[in-house]
Amino acid sequence: GDAPDATDFANYFCTYAFLFHQKEMLEDHKRTGAYYTAIMQNQAQFKDKVVLDVGAGSGILAIFAAQAGARKVYAVEATDVAKHARKLVQHNRLGSIISVIQGTIETVELPEKVDLIVSEWMGYFLLRESMLDSVLVARDKFLKPGGALYPSHARLYVAPIRSNLTHSRQNEFRNAMEGWASFTDDMQRYYGVRMDCLNDSFRDEQKQYYQQTAAWADVSPNQLAGRPWCFKQYDLLTVTPQEIIDSFKEHFELQIIEAAPIEAFAGFFDVQFKGSPENPASFEVLLSTAPDPQCSTHWGQQVFHLYPPINAQPGDRISGDINISRKKENHRLMQVVFQHCIIPRQQQPQAATPKLQSTERVDFFSIE
């Protein structure tokens, strides 16, 4: 709940000040359209209400809320894009309804409490950027009892996939290590400096880059080797700030359907617009970032490449835990650890506590 500091502005907020970046989000019409539908198909919920848009950006969600009949909309945006939002609001003749306030939600004051909060706070794998913190600050500071959040719920998934990129990244890693070898040869030959004492450090650094950093990808549904597993659900009305900040560990079970080495886990999320118990949405909307052949979102999926791939057969199960935490150096980035093993098909009926130490493994990743 602390206000962002100068480093945070330099690292995180800076990109959002550009119209270019706001445009990229706006023209993700699966995203923008989901908010539009969630708001416009629930006009009864917005009619004559006071609405807060947390992280308004271009002001688009505030405009939707005003179009849906809100009496008053506060559009709070930290960066200079607030100036463009203000212009857009005037140009669309909504200046009497929407107040654009430039500032961080952690520090602004509003003249009244609000009935509804709209916000698009989701980062890669839902939690990257940690902007949900700010939405919960807004909720606890400004939302009236019985009020609703749009979206109201969020869920996290993991799925086993095939991916050619696992192999090619592994090749790039090998090339980098060969490059290092000839580099150290050169350093010895040209300058008489022996650098082989850094071989392991360089290998670790490259491993982290090529093997232990999750990658953005637009996974195609036919890469799925088994059904996605939902390992976490958030009710945004009741989740506590601490639950969001703390690291957590959840179990998953991935039933393998297709014969193939499992080359990666794919992580993604969805959010639901269901209103609140006191003010339920009359029309529920789902915004999903699952692999989709037609219509992917700018979030894509986060892919966790597995070295080596998991040799699983149809009918096998990958059973394990996923551990998610924030990076110490930068609270907007994440660390994801998978601890898992294969439960072969034939073991499954009898196995309450199968002996699986042999295949148990741990894979570390960061989301940058």
Ligand X SMILES: Nc1ncnc2c1ncn2[C@@H]1O[C@H](CSCC[C@H](N)C(=O)O)[C@@H](O)[C@H]1O
Pairing of strands 98-102, 153-161: unpaired
Of 21-29, 127-135, 276-284, 349-357: span binding its own copies (CB under 8 A)? 21-29
Taking every pair of C-alpha atoms in the chain, what is the biggest distance, in angstroms?
Answer: 77
Q: For residues 8 and 270, which CB has a smaller minimum distance to its own copies in the complex? A: 8
Work out whether 55 is an interface residue with ligand X (CB under 6 A).
yes
Q: Tokens representing 100?
A: 């654009």
Going by C-alpha positions, the residue among 75, 105, 102, 80 that lies closest to residue 17 is 80
Here's the x/- map for its own copies, 196-215, by CB under 8 A: it reads as xxx--xx--xx--x------
Interaction partner, residue 6 (its own copies, ligand X, none; CB < 5-8 Å by kind): its own copies
Q: How far is the CB of 316 from ligand X (least distance, A)?
A: 40
Work out whether 151 is an interface residue with ligand X (CB under 6 A).
no
Q: Tokens representing 66?
A: 């005003």
Work out whether 135 is an interface residue with ligand X (CB under 6 A).
no
Q: Centre a 10 Å sphere on the Cβ of residue 81 and count the other Cβ atoms it contains.
A: 23
- The helix (H) or strand (E) run that includes residue 226 is none
Work out whether 273 is an interface residue with its own copies (CB under 8 A).
no
With beta carbons less than 8 A apart as the criterion, state whether 263 and 306 touch. yes
**173 Ramachandran zone, left/alpha/beta (phi>0; psi -120 to 50):** alpha
Q: For residues 125 and 365, which CB has a smaller minimum distance to ligand X in the complex? A: 125
- Phi and psi at 198, nearest 5°, equal -100, 5
Q: How far is the CB of 349 from ligand X (least distance, A)?
A: 49
d(Cα 218, Cα 67) in Å, to the nearest integer?
A: 33
Q: How far is the CB of 97 from ligand X (least distance, A)?
A: 17
By beta carbon distance, the residue nearest ligand X is: 55
Q: Tokens representing 333?
A: 């980035």
Which residues form the catalytic set?
Answer: 120, 129
Amino acid at 248: F
d(Cα 127, Cα 155) in Å, to the nearest integer?
A: 11
Work out whether 100 is an interface residue with ligand X (CB under 6 A).
no
Positions in 74-93 near its own copies (CB under 8 A) = 84, 87-88, 90-92
Q: Tokens representing 332?
A: 């907007």
With beta carbons less than 8 A apart as the criterion, state whether 87 and 151 touch. no
**261 Ramachandran zone, left/alpha/beta (phi>0; psi -120 to 50):** beta
Work out whether 187 is an interface residue with its own copies (CB under 8 A).
yes
Residue of the chain from 29, 47, 249, 327 that contacts its own copies (CB under 8 A):
29
Work out whether 341 is an interface residue with its own copies (CB under 8 A).
no
Contacts of residue 83, defined as CB under 8 A and 6 or more positions apart, other chains included, come to 102
Q: How far is the CB of 90 from ligand X (least distance, A)?
A: 18
Interaction partner, residue 47 (ligand X, its own copies, none; CB < 5-8 Å by kind): none
Positions in 105-134 near ligand X (CB under 6 A) = 105-106, 120, 131, 134
Interaction partner, residue 82 (its own copies, ligand X, none; CB < 5-8 Å by kind): none
Q: Tokens representing 83?
A: 């100036």
Give the footprint of ligand X on this chain (CB under 6 A). Answer: 13, 16, 25-26, 55-58, 60-61, 76-79, 81, 104-106, 120, 131, 134
